[in-house]
Chains A and B, each alone.
Chain A
Amino acid sequence: MTTTRWIRWVLKPALFTAALVPVAYLIWAALTGNLTANPIQELEHETGLWTLRFVCLTLAVTPLRRVTGWNSLIRFRRMLGLYAFFYGTLHLLTYVVLDQFFAFQTMLVDVTKRPYITVGFAGFVLMIPLAITSTAGMIRRLGGRRWNLLHRLIYVTAVAGVVHYWWLVKADERSPERYALAVGVLLGFRLLYLAWKSRSRLAPAPAAAGGRTPFRLDAERDASLD
């Protein structure tokens, strides 16, 4: 079996299934009364954490490719990003349906008046165009360069997600600190790589022009394979 087929028929389905384990567990725990005495809040917290985790995993793809040289990793990126959106949607739905039960007025006040909700909501909204433009057709229509530019919004979402988390904890900031570190390292890697590349003779030009080519090719190739 070629690498392409191996990824397509084994690794991708495996990742797809594995990424559903958290939601399967949460449903099971909710139905069997294993989500603490306050299951709605627990669901909110858990879906939020899984959103952050998938955002981090999505952001880890490029650094891992650079470090390991295994470029095929790019073929998992869209799925990871869509799972981030999936868990983000569950997180928002838990808040809208279970926690607030469609109390739109209260939620409007929350989104406009409570910074941690404003930031979290913004982080989610920014994922919507990314999810919509994740198809092969959209990549072609936008063109690789514009598509890449648009999808850098994930950086904003990642920072917003961490800030959202940081601003809601009461006193124990250890967990948000860990996510801040993860996002910091993942974004920092990109800055360092950019700096290193623009210095290096190998790269003809910095970010805007030729430097982005590999991204475009990867994205298009990946899209055309599905």
Chain B
Amino acid sequence: MPGRAARQGEAVMLIRRAPDMKWSEVTDEKLYLGRRQFLQTTAGVAMAAAAGASIGCSTVSADDQLPGRKLSYKEGPFGTTEKETPYKDVTTYNNFYEFGTGKSDPAQNAGTLVTSPWSIQIDGECAKKGTYHLDDLIKPYQLEERIYRMRCVEAWSMVIPWVGFPLASLVKQCAPTPKAKYVKFTTLYNPVQMPGQNVPVLKWPYVEGLRMDEATNPLAILAVGLYGHTLPNQDGAPIRLVTPWKYGFKGIKSIVKIEFVEKQPLNTWQQTRPNEYGFYANVNPHVDHPRWSQATERRIGEFFRRPTLMFNGYGDQVASMYAGMDLRKYF
């Protein structure tokens, strides 16, 4: 594998790379995982240094006090003007079973995740296969802020100011072949860094997928930050999917692999409970979860439930993709 990645890297040169980054540095997964485990022991020092740096950089706005590296971005389209869910809630109330199944587990346990260096493997039915350093991969794209509603399948919701770039841009760069009908995403598998993976609640690693037209829909983004700063680990650092018209579990976190495939991928929740979670997982108030209603939701921070909107209110952008489909069957 390292040989292949390096060779392909030199041959392909898909994405401009930082001058300090050689393709030979894109190492075999096993090797870099080993290095990460070593790095973990010094993570405390690194975090302390990072904290010092962020304090050193702080200037005027309260936003600067947030953890993570400040990102530069422009304002993106489709933003809602609804009240944003407070940063504290977005970063302490998470479903990220790789760090535990409780809502506060990810915020408590995700410190072990090492997000730099981070490599993403591009594979499958596309011309630009290879393993790329994350920084190289996202360098060509102008980051945008997208303030989206997020509706969890558990009937709660948030409004989150993501920072990311259109998934469509990356798909285009990868030059998928005509055989590519779906995009399959895979989360990091590393039980040392992700202790929740020691428990077989789900089949690891987490897998998600989108139909090609969904992946290239302008609403779909790969997010690398929120509230103007790099993603906290518990929110899926360093890079995650955001598809606001679908239930939150489609938004796969900490992605290490993006594949173009011909057959519909079997996403993790569908695999776990096929009668309860489908491939599409479009937000739909008329199709209940077998065990609970999806007609209403509780917006985090609000007392009264509010009605859930079809496609989470993004029907104008996405409804046409599902014209003629029986959404009760393809839930």
Residue positions of A touching B, CB distance < 8 A:
36-38, 40-41, 98-101, 103, 106, 109-110, 114-116, 167-168, 170-172, 174
- A170 to B153: give the CA distance in the assembly, Å: 10
Contacts of B92 in A (CB 8 A): 36-37
Chain B residues within 8 Å of A172, by CB: 97, 101, 199, 201
Per-position binary interface string of chain B over residues 80-100, scored 1 when its CB falls under 8 Å from any chain A CB and 0 otherwise: 000001001100110001000
Using a CB-CB cutoff of 8 Å, which residues 126-158 of chain B contact chain A? 154, 156
B93 touches which of A37, A40, A103, A168 (Cβ 8 Å)? A37
Are A41 and B298 within 8 A (Cβ)?
yes
**Interface residue stretch chosen among B115-123, B173-181, B300-308:** B300-308
Q: Which 7 A-B pairs have the closest CB atoms?
A: A37-B89, A37-B93, A172-B101, A172-B201, A37-B300, A171-B201, A38-B156
Chain B residues in the interface with A (C-beta under 8 A): 85, 88-89, 92-93, 97, 101, 103-104, 154, 156, 199, 201-202, 272-273, 291-293, 295-296, 298, 300-301, 303-305
8 of the cross-chain contacts (CB-CB < 8 Å) are A36-B93, A37-B93, A38-B93, A106-B295, A168-B291, A170-B154, A172-B97, A172-B199
From the candidates A36, A115, A167, A171, name the one contacting B272 in the complex (CB within 8 A). A171
Q: Which residues of B contact A38 (CB under 8 A)?
A: 93, 103, 156, 298, 300
| A101 in contact with B305 (CB, 8 Å) | yes
Contacts of B156 in A (CB 8 A): 38, 41
Whether B304 and A101, one on each chain, are in contact in the complex, defined by CB atoms closer than 8 angstroms, is yes
Contacts of A36 in B (CB 8 A): 92-93, 103-104
CB distance A171 to B103 under 8 Å?
Answer: no
In the complex the two chains form, is A171's CB within 8 Å of B101's CB?
yes
CB nearest neighbor in A for B88: A37
Complex Cα–Cα for A171 and B102 (A): 11
Q: Which residues of A contact B296 (CB under 8 A)?
A: 106
Bound Cα distance A106, B296 (Å): 10
Extra inter-chain contacts (15) besides given A99-B298, A103-B305, CB under 8 Å: A36-B93, A36-B103, A37-B92, A37-B93, A37-B300, A38-B93, A38-B103, A38-B156, A40-B298, A100-B305, A114-B292, A116-B291, A170-B154, A171-B272, A172-B199
With contacts A110-B293, A116-B291, A171-B201 known, is A37 near B301, CB below 8 A? yes
Query: Which residue on chain A has the smallest CB distance to residue B94?
Result: A37
B154 contacts which chain A residues (CB < 8 A)? 170
A37: B residues at CB distance < 8 A: 85, 88-89, 92-93, 103, 300-301
With a cutoff of 8 Å between Cβ atoms, the chain B residues found around residue A103 in the complex are: 305
Q: Report Cα–Cα, A67/B154, bound state, in Å.
A: 44
Return B23 CB to nearest CB of chain A, in Å: 39
Chain A's closest residue to B154 (CB) is A170
**A158 to B313, alpha carbons, bound, how many Å?**
42
A172 to B154, CA, bound (A): 14
User: Nearest Cβ distance between residue B135 and chain A, in whole angstroms?
Assistant: 32
Q: Pick the most buried of A40, A170, A171: most chain B CB atoms within 10 A of its CB.
A: A170
User: For the complex, what is the distance from the CA of A106 to the CA of B295, rounded to whole Å?
Assistant: 10
Report chain B residues within 8 Å CB of A171.
97, 101, 201-202, 272-273
A37-B301, A38-B93, A171-B202 known; A114 vs B291 contact (CB < 8 Å): yes
Give B123 Cβ to nearest chain A Cβ, in Å: 28
A contact residues around B101 at 8 Å (CB): 171-172
Contacts of A109 in B (CB 8 A): 293
